[in-house]
Amino acid sequence: MIEPYVLGLQEVDETKVAVVGGKGAHLGRLSRIEGIRVPGGFCVTTDAFRRIMEEGPSIDDRLDQLSRLDPDDREAIRTLSAQIRRTIEGIAIPGDVAAAIARALAQGGEQAAYAVRSSATAEDLPTASFAGQHDSYLNVVGPTAILQQVSRCWASLFTERAVTYRRRNGIDHRTVHMAVVVQQMVFPQAAGILFTADPVTGNRKVATVDAGFGLGEALVSGLVNPDVFKVRDGEVVAKAIAAKQRAVHALPAGGTREVAVDSHRQEQPALTDAQVVRLAQLGRRIEAHFGRPQDIEWCLVDDGFQIVQSRPITTLFPVPKTGDQENHVYVSVGHGQMMTDPMKPLGLSVWQLTAMVPMHEAGGRLFVDVTRRLASPASRAGLLDAMGRGDPLIRDALETVLDRDDFVPSLPDTGPGAPSAGDASAPIETDPAIVTELMERSQASIAALERDIRTKTGPALFDFLLEAFEEHKRVLGDPLNLQAIMAGMEATWWLNDKLLEWLGEKNAADTLTLSAPGNVTSEMGLALLDVADVIRPHAEVVAFLQGVEGEGFLDELAKLAGGTEARDAIESYLDRYGMRCVGEIDITRPRWRERPTTLVPVILDNVRNFEPGAAQRRFEQGRQKARKKEQDVLSRLRALPDGEQKADETKRMIDRVRTFIGYREYPKYAIVSRYFVYKQALLEEAERLVQANVLPEKEDIFHLTFQELHDVVRSNQVDDQLVQQRKEAFRAYHALTPPRVLTSDGEAVTGAYRRDDVPAGALIGLPVSAGTIEGRARVILDMAEADLEAGDILVTTSTDPSWSPLFVGIAGLVTEVGGLMTHGAVIAREYGLPAVVGVEHASRLIRDGQRIRVHGTDGYVEILP
């Protein structure tokens, strides 16, 4: 007889998630794995849940209300979700559903003890585990009690934490249904959790076992600290035995009770090493079956392990796929580009196709494999030096990996890892004409791209773009381009090193490079001050901009007094800088030209906070300050032994740094200028696909790689399921934090500053722009939501060039990501802003509105009382 509302665990697998939920489907698969023991039981299907929901018509209205609530409005969510739960628990279970459950119970013994556990259809999925979001009940005895707990499990779909979790993960409440797993209760001597990958470091080769006496509920609820074992290659490599003073045991009549553990047993291990190794082996078997690392709940019964749950570990950062079994060390590209958010597939593939070195994708981010460079002593030294100057945390993480003698193989200097002599190291003259020539070459190349791409459509466009990508790389790889970039950076390092040695002065180059000529990124921030100057005299325009919502506002401006001038000023700005945006290395991100409202809050801040002519005054003040610093430094040097020689060398380096340091920002400007041309052509192609009913939306192309999009254009066919999977994966990637350094074992290696020269409680970072400033912290994660006052200190995760318009209105900068030569640091120095970057978790540790003191010379931040 086929039961409409009940399925035995042996009858279900992963194809039945919609019927038995994620937990039920996983248990069904587990029960089929040879050598894995799973307590017997059955699932009350989602059909039964739907019957209950149909019995409560008021639930539908409340779900509508719930979907409209702000996920941060905890009080409203708490109230509404409690109403829904009470309604569900108050509905009598229909007779045929109750009878089906009773028949299933009769097969295992009506008066036997059972565990009754929720199993939602959006639970235990590869990208969202929902661990702990829904209810479970242990040691439930008798049909009446079981039916009551089944009803509570249904209601737990609407606990406050489950509702909030769904909202934050973009899951519609109406699309999730609840099944219930009813399993025979086991009464273990010990229980706990097995992670088949280290949940802290991510290392896939290290299994972690948490163990305690009695039922696992004691660990899950935090009642006791568990014993923790780490297993690698079949042996226990680390363990910490806790004093387990309490345990949870089952009561004969049903329910559970917290009991004291005998004092002589408290510090005995809950498992022997042999049992731990055997459990880890079972875990590897389960992991292999599911194809991904697992979070497994286990019970030890009479020296045998039973598995009561297995779910994917969703917090691990993915590992780049290589197709080999060799060890690899990867460095994050996003940390160098000041963009650690996930990128969409088209953005990833275009960056890979235009990058100067091979890049590997994982978790929607890009990484460079540095294994071979680390393997050769000569190239290793150069790599560590470059990384250390840019981001000490990356260098420290790489040194941590190198300290493990067996992970990175050692190659001779003549091997493939040895550095090659490149043209970039050859010296060039300190000649501003070199910078002018490079800019003109770049502009000519972009003009040719814009001209030639206009006539290209269909497959021919993609052939053209592949050629354009090669030209893109040729321009970037021009030896003169690399020499000019390195000349500015090396002059900066020379000045900082020598002036510290000779004069005891830290980061002297910060002041010497103020208002350096030709910095397109700092000019971009100052130019928006000029736009504000045009708008400021026109009150009607200012009032209009304060209420702007849609992207068509520029056309509306012309109807207002002074509106034409305002529109022309903004349009002129967009003509020069409209290809920029936050996260601009991802071609799919909306550019300012596509979304000009992004700039409106910054323009209004500039109108409010500055007087007319501020851009020119600011630039001139910086130039004068740099000049005064130069005179001071040279004067002090001449008073030293060999002072004339030191002063002459320093003067040459000051001239050199001011000639070339501004150009440091130009190649990125050229890259994003080309990107916008590529993007406009690809979106026109997407529009043709929409018109041909191949794609429902133009932006769907963002979820295809460049090659996949090429194939779609050729075939006029698209895999809709692939696009949907990519959209879901992209949403899930937002929950992952990319590591600076990642190994092929999956270990996220975190570096440390290893400093003891900062005050207690200070937040340590990298000093990138000298000076000390005290002020109000403004924690801003989205540039479009900026609301700054003069004297504010900007605290954020990272700042790529698009953030520079905000820099003109702040007094200091603190970021979580960054290095000495990343864009935020360069512009902070250009504007004379004290700045500390690489401050781990700054946007969480510093609260918006707190007063802080930024020590830009010494590299730390103090939170003031």
Residues labelled catalytic: 823
Please report where in the chains the tokens 């209300």 appear, as a residue: 65
Q: Which long-range contacts (CB under 8 A, 24 or more apart) does 372-375 make?
A: 372/411, 372/416, 372/417, 373/417, 373/419, 374/329, 374/398, 374/401, 374/402, 374/408, 374/417, 375/408, 375/409, 375/410, 375/411, 375/415, 375/417
Tokens read off for 795: 């605290």
- 3-state SS, residue 344: coil
- Going from the C-alpha of 295 to that of each of 36, 270, 746, 792, the distances in angstroms are 15, 19, 16, 45
Q: Residue 215 carries which side chain, given as an amino acid letter?
A: L
CA separation for the pair 606, 343 (Å, rounded)? 31
CA separation for the pair 799, 818 (Å, rounded)? 8
CA separation for the pair 826, 665 (Å, rounded)? 8
- 3-state SS, residue 306: strand
Contacts with 252 (C-beta within 8 Å, 6 or more apart), sequence order: none
Q: What angle do CA 29, 31, 37 make, to 5 degrees?
A: 140
Tokens read off for 504: 């005891």
What is the DSSP-derived secondary structure letter of residue 5? S
Tokens read off for 509: 């180059």
Phi, psi at 579, each rounded to 5°: -80, -5
Beta bridge partners of 231: 207, 236
Contacts with 231 (C-beta within 8 Å, 6 or more apart), sequence order: 206, 207, 208, 209, 237, 276, 277, 280
CA separation for the pair 570, 531 (Å, rounded)? 6
Give a three-class secondary structure readout of 486-545: HHHHHHHHHHHHHHHHHHCCCCCHHHHCCCCCCCHHHHHHHHHHHHHHHHCCCHHHHHHH
Contacts with 51 (C-beta within 8 Å, 6 or more apart), sequence order: 5, 94, 97
- Characterize the bridge pairing of strands 793-796 and 772-779: parallel
Are residues 154 and 52 in contact, defined by beta-carbon separation less than 8 angstroms? yes
What is the DSSP-derived secondary structure letter of residue 621? H
Please report where in the chains the tokens 């200012």 appear, as a residue: 542
Tokens read off for 275: 């049992």
CA separation for the pair 630, 162 (Å, rounded)? 61
CA separation for the pair 292, 310 (Å, rounded)? 11
What is the DSSP-derived secondary structure letter of residue 406? T
In 3D space, the residue among 709, 712, 703 whose CA is nearest the CA of residue 682 turns out to be 709
In 3D space, the residue among 454, 448, 482, 444 whose CA is nearest the CA of residue 468 turns out to be 448
Are residues 605 and 809 in contact, defined by beta-carbon separation less than 8 angstroms? yes
- Sheet containing strand 6-8, edge to edge, reads 6-8, 41-44, 178-184, 113-120, 136-141
What is the DSSP-derived secondary structure letter of residue 423? G
